[in-house]
Amino acid sequence: MIPMKWASRTFALLALGACHGKDGTPPVDTSVPLDGLCAEAAERLGILPCVHSVPNDNTWTTITIAASPADQLRATKYMLPIREDAQLPLTYLNANAYTLHYDLMVEGFPDMFPGLTRQEYVNMVLEPTEKRYSAGNLAQYLAPGGGTFYGFTVWDDPAVESRTATYEEVLNVYEELLATFAPEPLVFVPSSSNQIEAAQGWDAPFPIRGVEGGIDYEVYTRGVGYGTVRLYDLGELAAAERSAAFGFQDILVLDEAPLDIERVISGAVTGTRQGELSHLNVRSAARGTPNCFIADPHSALAAWEGRLVRLECGEDDWSVQSATLAEAEAWWEALRPEPVGVPAPDLTTDTFVGLLDLPTDTEAQRAAALAAYGAKGTNLAALYQRIPAEYQLIGFVVPFAWYDRFLQEQGWTVDLGQGEGFHTFAETLDVWLSDETFLNDAAARRSMLTDLRIAIREAPLDPALVSALYDAIVATWGDDTTMVRFRSSSNAEDALQFSGAGLYDSESVCAADSVDGDDEGDSLCDPDQDDERTIERGLRRVWASMWNTEAYEERAWYGIDHRQAVMGILVNTRSKDERANIVAFTGNPTGSDDRTLVNAQIGELDVVSAEPGVYPEKTLVRLDAQGQVSDIDRVNGSSEVPDGFEVLSDGQITELAELYWVIEGSYPLDGVAPEGTTLLLDSEWKVLPDGQLVVKQIRPFLRQD
């Protein structure tokens, strides 16, 4: 039953006329009566986004799309609240308007889900500690003996057996759907081997679809893709995705269908069947990459593992054959977004410059600073020169020239595909970027990049550079025992068209450790560090991170010329034992809401790349025309703070938001937002142990409108 708190008057949509769905989809039947939140969203949007009940066949036809699986006719999705703090009642998606629940929530109900991220949505439907909804597919199936039935799935994480949907959860979904869904019969359809095994032991009052044989092939997104075949068990997939073991040059062959694959790939073959509106298939259709089911795909494609192929998922059958690198590169080029250029680096400027001394007044000065010192340092210098000193972390920037000299003057004993040898970095990179193994084999590429990073971390450094950095640190902080932070400042991050967030490494550095005469013992700057944090270590590690596998893959996807990508270093105060980490935007990055969004997490916990089940405090702030806070909307608290407590007080939120308003009006943004986007500011802040608020990073952010 729908809880009374969601009850609302009934609306008729006749006044909306012939409503077309998103992206020119056919008009929906506006005679379908609506009530509750879906009706309110329909009046606001001018399209039929969802319904709360399916009382007849006409409504079913209106909200569903034709399904491609061989035994399905039409399909949509549902979401069902399972906790009192769930904001939406039972909702059936209008698949003609939206293919993802996430899009419906962000666009259809922006006030309920302001600033909702995709990970937060996934947590709402999958993560046990945060789960607020049961969700799944709902389709009209052809019954084996004739006629049809309506099958529902219940999403879980098929890679984690302990998270398999329980009998109680499926029973609850069945009963709630049955109360609002008139077409019949309603049948549970297990969608993974874990669910099939679990359901075999149920004495259920609802029908369960059996595992029917006879289907050896089924296509979801027809098409051709080129890539290297990678075979994974579902349990291996998450780790492979985190380590960038595969990417847009690969075709994944999986024993079971996952709920989703976020990383761009060239094609997917699964050993269990998918739904028309599965996340994997929605992404595949959007990219135009083939996606199909093949019975026992690991056996069928075992001979092709590690080989570059042309895969075709056709209407009635599939095919695979060898491909050339030239054929594959032409296809990948068409798949990728428009290439992103990076500023040509200035490799002659070799002076360290304080953040308050780097010229940033004019666009030409900022371009020159960017070319010599990188985006992170230039952006922070431009910000600090425009805000009060109490919000700053003092520091300076190290230019690209030192990185370039270090690389070009060294020799790297690495395998270029021609045996071990002594080569310059330029020779290494030139050979790799024309080598079929490096370009085509993700596993080999990852190994070669690892060898390069190890070589960088072990290579000798110019003593004059280390001495100059020691002197600069002492001159800036007044001693050599203040721990500082070496942070990436490349020309391939923090830019309008390429964020690069999280791709490169930062390292803590203690200048005193470089001059203490030994390489052992605790750091002289921080006894909690049980190894030395020398200048040499910090330089090598940040420079080496330019060649992190994830960084290389991301640059490659966006067509960035790796030969032009270089690394500078931002040196500023290391903060320790901070009270809070904060990420703030000058508008909602996932919707049209222009209130300031403040995400805050307690202590040193990461706001963005948190562990599953850990989420930040989220607040939306409205400011008036004079930049004064007029409303603070606390969307949710932090998972790490007890109920009734807050990461940031109203006073701290007000201080940040009103300063951010000043920043937004004075910070120089170069470049123009493309049509259909809005230019926002994305920034990172900290609350230090003494309660002082400081800003540590700022960059432009393009919101897709």
- For position 7, what pLDDT does the model report? 33
Nearest to 75 by CA among 276, 285, 209: 276
In angstroms, the CA 641 to CA 634 distance is 14
**3-state secondary structure labels for all residues of 379-407:** HHHHHHCCCCHHHCCCEEEECHHHHHHHH
What pTM value is reported for the model? 0.79
In angstroms, the CA 290 to CA 219 distance is 8
How many CA atoms lie within 13 Å of 604's alpha carbon, on the beta-carbon side? 6
Nearest to 648 by CA among 603, 680, 593, 703: 603
In angstroms, the CA 568 to CA 373 distance is 6
In angstroms, the CA 13 to CA 30 distance is 5
DSSP 635: E
In angstroms, the CA 9 to CA 11 distance is 7
| Contact indicator for 182, 55 with CB cutoff of 8 Å | yes
DSSP code per residue over 549-580: HHHHHHHHHTT--GGG--EEEEEEEPP-S-SE
| Contact indicator for 124, 88 with CB cutoff of 8 Å | no
Angle, in degrees to the nearest 10, between helices 442-458 and 535-544? 160
In angstroms, the CA 243 to CA 263 distance is 11
Task: Please count the residues of the chain.
Answer: 705
- For position 412, what pLDDT does the model report? 56
In angstroms, the CA 234 to CA 256 distance is 6
- For position 403, what pLDDT does the model report? 96
- Long-range CB contact pairs, 212-215, < 8 A, 24+: 212/144, 215/70, 215/71, 215/273, 215/293, 215/295
In angstroms, the CA 557 to CA 264 distance is 9
**pLDDT one-digit tens code per residue, 585-610:** 998 887 678 899 999 999 888 887 66
State the virtual CA torsion across 169, 170, 171, 175 in degrees, nearest 10.
Answer: 100
CA 236 to chain centre: 19
CA 669, 563, 242, 106 dihedral sign is positive
Residue 563: partners with Cβ closer than 8 Å, 6 or more residues away: 429, 430, 433
Q: Residues of the chain whose pLDDT is less than 70?
A: 1-31, 33, 211-214, 410-423, 591, 609-613
DSSP 235: H
In angstroms, the CA 513 to CA 469 distance is 13
Which segments within 652-692 are labelled E, that is strand?
677-687
Q: For residue 163, what are the β-bridge partners?
A: none
Tell me how crowded residue 55 is: count the other CB atoms within 10 A of its CB: 14
The CA-based angle 301-303-306, given to 5 degrees, is 90
**pLDDT one-digit tens code per residue, 158-171:** 888 889 999 999 99
Tell me the pairing of strands 291-294 and 308-313: unpaired
In angstroms, the CA 354 to CA 360 distance is 12
- For position 279, what pLDDT does the model report? 82
**3-state secondary structure labels for all residues of 109-137:** CCCCCCCCCHHHHHHHHHCCCCCCEEEEE
Burial 496-528 (b: 16+ CB within 10 A, else e): bbbbbbebbbbbbbbbbbbeeeeeeeebbbbee
- For position 612, what pLDDT does the model report? 62
From residue 360, give the alpha-carbon distance in Å to each of 221, 303, 312, 492.
49, 58, 52, 19
In angstroms, the CA 586 to CA 621 distance is 10
* Both structure tokens of 657: 């938001």
Tell me how crowded residue 646 is: count the other CB atoms within 10 A of its CB: 17
Nearest to 574 by CA among 512, 523, 519, 506: 506
191 burial (CB, 10 Å; 0-12 / 13-18 / 19+) is buried
- For position 501, what pLDDT does the model report? 83
Q: Is the peptide bond before 689 cis (omega within 30 degrees of 0)?
A: no
- For position 583, what pLDDT does the model report? 93
From residue 154, give the alpha-carbon distance in Å to each of 79, 192, 421, 463, 578.
10, 10, 55, 62, 41
Nearest to 186 by CA among 173, 201, 202, 168: 173
- For position 402, what pLDDT does the model report? 96
* Both structure tokens of 425: 């970095």
* Both structure tokens of 342: 């990076």
In angstroms, the CA 155 to CA 126 distance is 7
One-letter amino acid identity for 480?
Answer: D
| Contact indicator for 107, 591 with CB cutoff of 8 Å | yes
